């Protein structure tokens, strides 16, 4: 059932061919979702040689109880990446981090990003991958699948924007993937094919009908988070996001890879399993100190992350020109942004 207009799929494929022809990285961060897998497939077809790397958590580290009996589990990026690598015959390096190493990289990410946002769990795999790949044969450039989710409706809140093209045009000047700063701090040159001018032009032309589509229920829900929604699991149809990109993916990848459910990196890499360990670090004294700040936190893992950040010497960055003060932590938030990079608070 293909309701997504062919013209949009053709236009996006053409733009991506141009982008991947002009952008040729040494290394690809392979998360194994359709975003990075499609780039790998296109470069492979074009004859470009590159290395890929995927980071996950050692499976011996148990995750939170709510994730134990899911239809498809967290910490699955390494398995999905293995399928992509075997399908495309990629030069692929899989890395499974120990708990100690994962927490070490979390500390490095927090200090580099100057942030105790719980979303920094997403960035552990990125930092670790680039850190481990630093000694690879004088390789200096890397690519990732950023910002395909934001441009093509991969997030659940995509339905909030009726004029999708207008929303994308508004977002483009503010797009700054965290992996850019992470890579530059480690002396890498970042490359983002999905931010190529031709791809952005196509994204600006898309409608809700291009990015989202209701499809009969398959074996898996559209996103990792849908597994916690009984209504979604009981439905006979489910609405998928990023459909226009998945349709391009079908032309280069097996269907199961083109339609891998949306999985945020903290879940796909398994770094969500760090939350109990962060929460356990709290004691009566630190909890009281945290409460005295007046800040709001999502859960005890977030409180534990803040405590860890402060113990490392981390401070809340002051407001600078072009910023407003976060209503939660007081840190600087760029004008027009709703999300505080420092504490993770959403307006």
Query: pLDDT by residue (tens digit) across 257-278?
Result: 999 988 899 999 999 999 999 9
Digit-coded pLDDT (tens) for 15-34: 999 999 999 999 999 998 99
Q: Is pLDDT of 111 > 50? A: yes
CA angle 74, 76, 81 (to 5 degrees): 155
Question: Domain limits at 123?
Answer: 6-273
| Same domain as 310, residue 258 | no
Other residues' Cβ atoms within 10 Å of the Cβ of residue 180: 18
| Same domain as 140, residue 50 | yes
Average pLDDT of the residues in 61-67: 79
- Which position has the higher pLDDT, 137 or 180? 180
SS3 239: strand
Q: Report how many domains make up the chain.
A: 2
pLDDT at 78: 96
- β-strand pairing of 213-216 with 237-240: antiparallel
Q: Mean pLDDT check: name the lowest of 142-156, 232-246, 254-268.
A: 232-246
Give me the residue label for tokens 């996006």: 12
SS3 135: coil
| Same domain as 326, residue 201 | no
Residue 219's pLDDT band, with cuts at 50, 70 and 90, is: low
pLDDT at 1: 40
| Same domain as 34, residue 79 | yes
Q: How many helices and strands, by DSSP H and E, does the chain display?
A: 17, 9
| Nearest CA-CA partner of 34 in 224, 229, 200, 248 | 248
Q: Is pLDDT of 135 > 50? A: yes
Residue 214's pLDDT band, with cuts at 50, 70 and 90, is: confident
| Same domain as 238, residue 124 | yes
Tell me if 327 is assigned to some domain. yes
* φ, ψ (nearest 5 deg) of residue 245: -70, -35
pLDDT at 141: 97
| Bond into 147 cis (ω within 30) | yes
Measured CA to CA, the distance from residue 318 to residue 297 in angstroms comes to 20
pLDDT at 102: 98
Average pLDDT of the residues in 225-240: 75
* Distance, first Cα to last Cα, the chain: 38
The model carries a pTM of 0.92
* φ, ψ (nearest 5 deg) of residue 141: -120, 145
| Same domain as 175, residue 213 | yes
Measured CA to CA, the distance from residue 26 to residue 125 in angstroms comes to 18
- Residue where a domain stops, chosen among 255, 273, 291: 273
Burial class (CB in 10 A: 0-12, 13-18, 19+), 185: middle
Digit-coded pLDDT (tens) for 280-303: 989 999 999 999 999 999 999 999
């Amino acid at each position: 059932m293909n309701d997504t207009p062919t013209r949009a799929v053709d236009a996006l494929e053409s733009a991506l061919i141009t982008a991947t022809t002009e952008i040729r990285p040494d290394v690809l961060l392979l998360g194994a979702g359709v975003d990075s897998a499609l780039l790998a497939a296109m470069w492979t077809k074009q004859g470009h040689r590159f290395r890929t790397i995927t980071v996950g958590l050692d499976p011996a580290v148990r995750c939170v109880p709510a994730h134990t009996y899911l239809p498809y589990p967290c910490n699955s990026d390494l398995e999905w990446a293995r399928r992509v690598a075997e399908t495309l015959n990629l030069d692929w390096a899989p890395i499974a981090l120990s708990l100690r190493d994962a927490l070490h990289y979390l500390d490095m990410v927090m200090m580099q990003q100057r942030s105790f946002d719980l979303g920094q769990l997403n960035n552990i795999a990125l930092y670790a991958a680039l850190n481990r790949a630093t000694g690879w044969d004088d390789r200096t450039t890397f690519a990732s699948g950023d910002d395909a989710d934001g441009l093509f409706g991969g997030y659940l809140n995509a339905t909030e924007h009726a004029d999708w093209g207008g929303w994308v045009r508004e977002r483009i000047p503010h797009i700054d993937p965290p992996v850019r700063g992470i890579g530059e701090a480690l002396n890498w040159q970042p490359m983002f094919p999905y931010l190529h001018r031709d791809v952005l032009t196509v994204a600006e032309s898309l409608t809700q009908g291009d990015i989202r589509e209701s499809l009969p229920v398959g074996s898996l829900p559209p996103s990792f988070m849908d597994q916690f929604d009984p209504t979604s699991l009981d439905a006979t149809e489910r609405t998928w996001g990023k459909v226009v990109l998945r349709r391009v993916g079908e032309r280069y990848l097996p269907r199961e890879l083109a339609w891998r459910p949306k999985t945020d990196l903290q879940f796909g890499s398994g770094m969500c399993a760090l939350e109990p360990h962060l929460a356990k670090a709290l004691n009566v004294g630190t909890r009281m100190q945290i409460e005295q700040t007046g800040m709001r936190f999502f859960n005890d893992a977030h409180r534990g992350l803040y405590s860890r950040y402060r113990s490392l010497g981390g401070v809340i960055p002051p407001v600078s020109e072009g910023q407003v003060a976060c209503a939660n932590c007081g840190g600087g938030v760029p004008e027009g942004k709703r999300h505080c990079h420092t504490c993770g608070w959403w307006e």
